[in-house]
Amino acid sequence: MNWKRVAMSFLFSLPVIGLLAFGLTRDPRTIDSPLPGRPAPDFTLPIFENGEGTVSLSELRGQVVVLNFFASWCLECRYEHAALAMASSMYRPQGVQFFAVLYNDTPEKGRRWIEQMGGQPYPALYDEGSRTAIDYGLYGVPETFIIDRNGLVVQKKIGPWSFDELTAAIDKALAIEAVDAPTDGPEAVKPTAAAVQGGAE
């Protein structure tokens, strides 16, 4: 064995391994989304579980909204369900509204899934034809949007939440004050949002 050469080959290997190790710390999936900082697309969706009637985002101005897309066939959704359920109860006093939006699934299966998961304290909405999912540029499920009091998307998360991560994100959204008093009607959404963006610059 020629040990000098062995040592040299070792030195040659290190930068290659270092580079690959660096690559491992990067997340190739962090795709820049145009949504954070922009107004959340409005929707009006029927509630199929935990409530009745419909929900419109525009009527929720002045409240922080957690919008979670899920499906009964999605395994990762199971992992984050407990965190979402717990957080929704914890933040109810502060007026944070949680909604689960069913993605490419039937309400009947969604209802049975929620039952399997031990129920959930917030309403589940049915997005027929995935219109809302398309508006939000959904990448996959689970995917969650946190919307502040001004109707702007504060954070978008692809993949399951951990409880700490979720509460940190909600706290961040809660720290943002409402710029304008909530007005009625979706027409008011855009001017308000423009004012916010203008003010931030």
Partner 1 sequence: MLRLIGSFTVWASLALAVYGLIAGIVGVRTRNAALSRSARAASYTIFGLMTVSNLAMIAALVSHDFSVDYVARVGSRSTPLFFTVISLWSALEGSILFWGWVLAGYTAAALYFTKDRLGPMGAYANATMLGIGAFFYLLLVRPANPWGLVSPAPLDGPGPNPLLQNHPLMAVHPPFLYLGYVGMSVPFSFAIGALLSGRLDDAWVRASRKWTVFAWAMLSLAIMAGMWWSYEVLGWGGYWAWDPVENASFMPWLTATAFLHSVMVQERRDMLQVWNLSLVISTFLLTILGTFLTRSGVISSVHAFTEGTIGLYFLSFIAFVLIFSLALLAGRSSELRKHGHLDSMLSRETVFLVNNLLLTAFTFTVLLGTLFPLVAEAVRGVKVTVGAPFFNRMTVPIMVALLFLMGVGPMLPWRVANVEELKRKLLVPTLAMIVTLGTAVVLGMRDFWGLLAFAFAAFALSGNIQEYVRGTAARRRAQGGGWLRAFGGLINANPRRYGGYFAHIGLILAAIGITASTVFRVERQATLQVGESVTIGEYTVRFDGMRGQQEPQRFVVGANMTVFVDGRDVGTLFPRLNFYRMSAEPIATPAVRTRPDNDLYLTLLAFNEQDGSTATLSVIVEPLVGWIWVGGVMVTIGALFGIWPRRRAPAPVVSRKRTAGVA
- Answer positive or negative: Cα dihedral of 98, 100, 101, 103: positive
Residue number with CB closer to partner 1 (68 or 192): 68
Candidates 17, 177, 184, 185; binder of partner 1 (CB under 8 A) is 17
Question: Where would I find the beta strands (DSSP E) of the chain?
Answer: 44-49, 54-56, 65-70, 97-102, 124-126, 143-147, 153-158
Q: Which of the 8 DSSP states describes residue 41?
A: P
Nearer to partner 1, 122 or 136 (CB): 136
Q: How many residues bind partner 1 (CB under 8 A)?
A: 46
Q: Which of 44, 73, 95, 168 binds partner 1 (CB under 8 A)?
A: 73
Angle between helix axes 75-91 and 163-174 (nearest 10 degrees) is 50
**Residue span binding partner 1 (CB under 8 A) among the ranges 5-13, 81-89, 165-173, 183-191:** 5-13
DSSP state letter for 74? -
Cβ distance 177 to 162 under 8 Å? no
Burial pattern 15-52, b for ≥16 Cβ within 10 A else e, equals eeeeeeeeeeeeeeeeeebebeeebbbbbebebbbbee
168 part of the interface to partner 1, by CB under 8 A: no
Considering the complex, state which of residue 72 and residue 192 has its C-beta at the smaller distance from partner 1.
72
Residue 76 beta carbon to partner 1: minimum distance, rounded to whole angstroms: 5
Q: Report the residue number, 104 or 197, with the smaller CB distance to partner 1.
A: 104
* Of 94 and 116, CB closest to partner 1: 116
Nearest to partner 1 of 158, 193 (CB atom): 158
Q: Give the strand order in the sheet containing 97-102.
A: 54-56, 44-49, 124-126, 97-102, 65-70, 143-147, 153-158
- In the range 96-155, which residues lie near partner 1 by CB under 8 A? 103-105, 109, 112-113, 116, 130, 133-134, 138-142
Q: Which residues bind partner 1 (CB under 8 A)?
A: 1-3, 5-6, 8-10, 12-13, 16-17, 19-24, 26-29, 71-76, 103-105, 109, 112-113, 116, 130, 133-134, 138-142, 158-160
